[in-house]
């Protein structure tokens, strides 16, 4: 779980760098449909005046810290919020900006994986992968 959070942190740092510098590095600008530039510098780049990439970075950092201290229910709460937040961004990318950010999609994949993993760790009796003990 901490490794996934580190991947998310790196992805969010990249998106924050693109937002902050307003420079498009071009790593994820594939064509007019798959491009990070319009998302990191456009109308979706901020929420209530705060960079969305910074919100993601903080979310991944909190998941990393809660995983380190084995507070899996807190990590699950953050992963649930993060997954819903990422789904909202993806929806807006598709229907408002009409572009898909590959790095944002990678963040979404990481957050879905975090959600599944934290669900299993937070509630192992209901959702864990370990077999139930027979009586």
Q: What CA–CA distance (Å, rounded) separates 2 from 45?
A: 26
Q: Note whether residue 54 is domain-resident.
A: yes
Q: Note whether residue 102 is domain-resident.
A: yes
Q: What CA–CA distance (Å, rounded) separates 103 from 35?
A: 9
Q: Does residue 11 surpass a pLDDT of 60?
A: yes
Q: How many domains does the chain have?
A: 1
Q: Which domain holds residue 58?
A: 2-127
Q: Note whether residue 117 is domain-resident.
A: yes
Q: Note whether residue 32 is domain-resident.
A: yes
Q: Note whether residue 63 is domain-resident.
A: yes
Q: Note whether residue 35 is domain-resident.
A: yes
Say what the pLDDT of residue 41 is.
83
Q: Does residue 120 surpass a pLDDT of 70?
A: yes
pLDDT grade, residue 132 (50/70/90)? Answer: low
Q: Note whether residue 135 is domain-resident.
A: no
pLDDT in tens, 26-64: 677 788 889 888 888 888 888 998 999 999 999 999 999
Tell which wins on pLDDT, 94 or 128.
94
Average pLDDT over residues 61-73: 95
pLDDT in tens, 82-106: 999 999 999 999 999 899 999 999 9
Say what the pLDDT of residue 12 is.
95
Q: What CA–CA distance (Å, rounded) separates 89 from 11?
A: 15
Q: What CA–CA distance (Å, rounded) separates 108 from 10?
A: 13
Q: Note whether residue 133 is domain-resident.
A: no
Q: Does residue 13 surpass a pLDDT of 70?
A: yes
Domain with 80 in it: what CATH number? 1.20.1440.130
pTM: 0.86
3-state class of 21 per DSSP? Answer: helix
Q: What CA–CA distance (Å, rounded) separates 12 from 7?
A: 9
Residue with tokens 């209901």: 126
User: Cβ(39)–Cβ(97) under 8 Å?
Assistant: yes
């Amino acid at each position: 779980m901490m490794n996934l959070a580190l991947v998310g942190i790196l992805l969010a740092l990249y998106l924050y760098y693109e937002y902050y510098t307003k420079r498009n590095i071009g790593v994820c600008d594939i064509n007019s449909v798959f491009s990070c530039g319009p998302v990191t510098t456009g109308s979706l780049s901020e929420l209530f005046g705060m960079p969305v990439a910074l919100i993601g970075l903080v979310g991944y950092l909190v998941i990393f810290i809660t995983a380190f201290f084995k507070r899996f229910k807190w990590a699950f709460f953050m992963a649930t919020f993060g997954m819903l937040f990422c789904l909202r961004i993806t929806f807006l990318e598709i229907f408002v900006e009409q572009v898909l950010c590959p790095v944002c999609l990678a963040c979404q994949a990481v957050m879905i994986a975090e959600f599944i993993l934290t669900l299993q760790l937070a509630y192992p009796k209901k959702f864990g992968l370990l077999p139930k003990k027979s009586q």
